[in-house]
Amino acid sequence: MMIARLFYWVIVISQVVIALRSFHRHPLLVIVGALITLGVIALTETAYGRKEDVNYSPKLLWLLIVAVPIAIYIQTLVNY
């Protein structure tokens, strides 16, 4: 669990670097991408917490599966 949280920091730091370099070109995409990335991190943390409590719902997993490719796609658009 601690390694996953370390990766969260790497993701957040890279999000800040992308935002600083790309905000002047795509301000709306940077803002939306940052919000979706933070949402994916929150969903992942919630999924881990519920899995440990054995209160895991398939709906949360599907939401996470849909949100991750959207976040990746938006980050790719920001870089172009």
Confidence of residue 1 (pLDDT cuts 50, 70, 90): low
Q: Give pLDDT, residue 33.
A: 87
pLDDT tens string 16-45: 888 888 888 889 988 998 898 888 888 888
Mean pLDDT for the chain overall: 83
5-38: burial string, b at 16+ Cβ within 10 Å, e else: eeebeebeeebeebbeebeeebeebbebbbebbe
pTM of the predicted protein model: 0.74
